[in-house]
Chain A
Amino acid sequence: MRAGQLDALVEAVEDGNGGDGDDDERGAGGVDFDGLRANRDGDGFRFRTPHTERTGLSEAEFREVAESNPWFVSNWYYWTREVGLGERGEQEAATRHHDGASARHTFLRWAENADDYGVPERYEALAEGVSREWGQLCVTATVADHGERRYHLRHVADADADLSSLDVYTDPLEARSIVTYDERGRYRPLKTAPTLRDGWAFTDLDGRSLVDTVDVVYPATIPNWYREREGRLDVSHWDETAERQTGIYDVVDELDEEAVEWIAESCCVDSQCLKRRMWDKDEESELDADRGDGVFPCREPCSLVVAAARKWTTLEREESRTYEFELTPSEKEQVEDIIDAVAEGRTDEIREADVYEGANRYRARFLRAKRFDDEGNLSGTPTDGE
């Protein structure tokens, strides 16, 4: 705790401008935050924590008591003065629906489990570091001198890695170089795909930089998560989103409910996207596909899904036909294996010589050599033939 923090506390008590408190306490002024209550009681000061209660204090006595409870004071100072926005500020911001600062505040509180633990337990835990998972991010909060929080960010896979084995960054914008490509060097158009590279760490971030860094890795997830917590996440369901589209995407509202189901099943499950899907066909018709377990919600079909849906809309206009193919039972299974391996992105894992795998490259080449004609038609059956 610094002297300035204590001065600020005294001032807040004098002004009745502590930032927060229950409605009935507010009239009395003072400070009411995370278990710390301080106000003027008649002529004297009052100082209360879950473990201490002192009343009728002179200012000098008040300062002395506060000084012997430095955690409560520095905690109050950090949240109301450095992060800004006590609860009252939050409520005001919330009613205006413009709540970037409240979202940041709430996220930082989440990072240290502030809802679940009191100040002493939290300070003890913060001394070691409190870690939480945000998608594939591991966010660690620690407490530095005078209650200042410092935050560290890594890939969850590196949670226990030695810092010297990681590339260390400090500027939030440097995260762009991490999120653009997956570990095989492929472009990641969907930031919440579970393909975040590991091997890096951001250290010693302040609250704002932490939020900025998370926003580069998983853009807009914090504000949407915050709105969800506040019970006012606005969800745009499939129908509404599809109807809004114009230009080349105008067609996507043609897809029927079953196809929308397939979209959610193919794109929005945890193996493909870490957002938790909150949208459905419309408000009444829930889709069966798994929503995912992600900590942050998905409030409407993303541009990737809408763009894919455009292709599917044109494909779904085609009628099925009956073709005749000659395949042995094993070859039919092999076709199924190949589709499955591609759909799951497993083709790279299949070993060169593992001909027991249907999707093995040599097996696929053998099948092609045997069953394709010179035009590449399966079983020699032309695609457009009658």
Chain B
Amino acid sequence: MQALVIVAHGSHLNPDSSAPTYDHADTIRDVGAFDEVKTGFWKEEPSLREVLRTVESDEVFVVPMFISEGYFTEQVIPRELRLDGWDVSQWESDGLSASHATLTASDTNQRVHYCGPVGTHESMTDVLVRRAESVTGDPNVGKGFGLAVVGHGTERNENSAKAIEYHAERIREMDRFDEVQALYMDEEPEVDDVTDCFESDDVVVVPLFIADGFHTQEDIPEDVGLTDDYREGYPVPAEVDGHRIWYAGAVGTEALMADVVLERAAEAGADVDDAVEIVRKRTRGTPAAGD
């Protein structure tokens, strides 16, 4: 028996934080590639300390719903899951390339294939593009458009900027959008200056965040100038300084994210047959989760 466990941050204050994790788990559960699909959280229940106890399978694929490698993926999750003998060098990562490592959870004796976070997976690039498609309602969006990938910035985690740069660069290489720019909340270039950073009239702004919350629902819309007060809401697209800003909200709520989770598990050796294909088909063109 093989199980998939998606681990995420969760929140004591905001139920939206765990919603995308549940949505993607449901999508994957529906294709039946795993005997069990479970979710565990740092701030919700079951906790990371206990989630493996809720799993009956011997073989467990753990995929972190996090944007970057760093404190959570390297310290908190392995420690709380009690992954025996974990050492971050097992990932042999440069901060972007963690794939997986196989360990035993001392608590349950299960074999755990501990995967790198979803945010640094190459197929996350496609999800960002898909997000632009879903928010504009145009499957061919690109020509005449700029795309801004927004990250938190270095203050919290040096690898977080790496992930933003990485995907921005990959989208640039696609030659699909007229301009692609990485922007940050806490460092230069700042998301406040989005309109200065683009010449295109239309700009899609996609925050590389797992869930909608304080940053994506309150800070960024106000910083970008979509609204003076997030509680009043804002139109999509919104006119700001002569540009049309298509604000997409957290990329993690995009249905296609389930595909990234599956790919992570498949690369770690999960037997998922054609589930990746099915999930891709099912999540293609569907409105984003929560829309």
Given contacts A104-B56, A191-B45, A303-B47, contact A246 B75 (CB under 8 A): yes
Given contacts A180-B15, A303-B47, contact A98 B54 (CB under 8 A): no
Complex: how many Å from CA A304 to CA B57?
Answer: 29
B50 close to A100 (CB less than 8 A): no
7 tightest Cβ-Cβ pairs between the two chains A and B? A100-B56, A219-B46, A223-B53, A220-B50, A219-B45, A189-B12, A220-B46
- CB under 8 Å from chain A, chain B span 18-64: 22, 26, 42-47, 49-51, 53-58
B54 close to A223 (CB less than 8 A): yes
Complex: how many Å from CA A247 to CA B109?
Answer: 28
B residues in contact with A247, CB < 8 Å = 71, 75-76
A residues in contact with B102, CB < 8 Å = none
B108 close to A97 (CB less than 8 A): yes
Interface size in chain A (residues, C-beta < 8 A): 31
Quick check: is A101 within 8 A (CB to CB) of the other chain?
yes
A220 close to B51 (CB less than 8 A): yes
Instruction: Produce 1/0 per residue, B224-262, CB < 8 A to A.
Output: 000000000000000000000000000000000000000
- A residues with a Cβ closer than 8 A to B are 96-98, 100-101, 103-104, 173, 176, 180-181, 187, 189-192, 215, 219-220, 223-224, 234, 236, 244, 246-247, 300, 302-304, 307
B109 close to A100 (CB less than 8 A): no
Complex: how many Å from CA A246 to CA B72?
Answer: 10
Interface of B is mostly: loop
A220 close to B26 (CB less than 8 A): no
Given contacts A176-B22, A304-B12, contact A215 B71 (CB under 8 A): no
B residues in contact with A219, CB < 8 Å = 45-46, 50, 54
Quick check: is B138 within 8 A (CB to CB) of the other chain?
no
Beyond A187-B14, A303-B12, 13 additional contacts (C-beta under 8 Å) are A100-B54, A176-B22, A180-B15, A189-B12, A219-B46, A220-B46, A223-B53, A236-B49, A246-B76, A247-B75, A303-B43, A303-B44, A304-B43
Complex: how many Å from CA A377 to CA B51?
Answer: 47
CB A98 to nearest CB in B, in angstroms, measures 5
Cross-chain contact of A223 among B50, B58, B76 (Cβ < 8 A)? B50
Quick check: is B13 within 8 A (CB to CB) of the other chain?
yes
A residues in contact with B58, CB < 8 Å = 98
B residues in contact with A189, CB < 8 Å = 11-13, 43-44
Complex: how many Å from CA A246 to CA B80?
Answer: 11
Quick check: is B136 within 8 A (CB to CB) of the other chain?
no
Complex: how many Å from CA A249 to CA B57?
Answer: 32
